Structure 1
Amino acid sequence: MKGFTLIELLVVVLIIGILAAVAVPQYTKAVEKARISEAKVLLKSLVDAEDAYVLATGEPCGTYNLEDLDITLPGTIKKESGRTHIITKNFEFYADECLESSRGGVSLDFYADRIGKNYSVRVVGNGYGGDKPGIFFCWQEHNEAAPCQQAGAIKNADGEWIFQ
């Protein structure tokens, strides 16, 4: 009767362990990238709905209350300080910071805070002279680079972390 020796079994287990050590981090990155893509799609929908709101009402900054927008997002609605937050399994979406840009216009920023992680996906509203509309930034507290790097963001020429 032929069988495997202990050495042969150990070699097979070692090879499987090495493959798992390489594959698991890549799998984790791919999953996080897919989640960020989900946030980008929902943020883009919010920006478009906010543009329609601005055109309909004439309010330069749109609205911080996401319920005012003509859009239905998946998730649970949470009210906080007069603003609406939408909470999904992976992100908390909200509007914040209506800022005047260097070009003289204003725009509303939208955020998707990654639940359980230390970063947010941020997009500046389209218009009205806003700086860098349509770019998805990685925002992290205390200007730490590690959360954005781990999420797959890259540093652009201006030193900002962005998602491509």
Structure 2
Amino acid sequence: MPRLSKDHAQALAEVRSIASRPFAVDQMGRELLRPLQRAIGWDGYRLFGVDSRTLLINRLISASDNDRDARREWLEEVYLDQRTLPYLQLPVIARARLKGVAYQPKQDESWGYPSAMLESIDPHKHWIYYHESESPIGGTLHATFESAGRQVAVLQAYRRDLNRAFRPKDVALMQAASP
């Protein structure tokens, strides 16, 4: 795991402090994301609640103001579509208990995934799917959140700038911050 920068370490301390407070779920989601967004930076995000038994989305907890159209498109065209790459499917990410992964244009720059999960797909197929599905050009950061040992939420944060791809230290912060 890469060493956290000063900004990342400060964000992690803030997240841990926030997590210890008695917030309602919706407010907790927004509060937890604020220091993470400041440290990592993204252009948009959505935080979904998931059914801990089926690992399917059951509600929207929080989202950026600019996410409505992108979220609708993703829900209609990608979510639960069997053609979606396995390691991009939210139930697969949650079942594998991946606390933080970055899905990027190049498979070898998709950080945080177990190698066995990536090896199941040819890198060229990954690249083709990434571009044909019009994935956010700067990548998508996925994170799962647990409570009492059960998956309860999943985050999708994305960047729309090719020159600002997510880095290994961004994934490391999400992995460390995800309860």
* Larger strand fraction of residues: 1
Same fold (TM over 0.5): no
Normalising by the residue count of structure 1, what TM-score does the alignment of the two structures yield?
0.30
Higher relative contact order by CA 8 Å / sep ≥ 6: 1 or 2?
Answer: 2
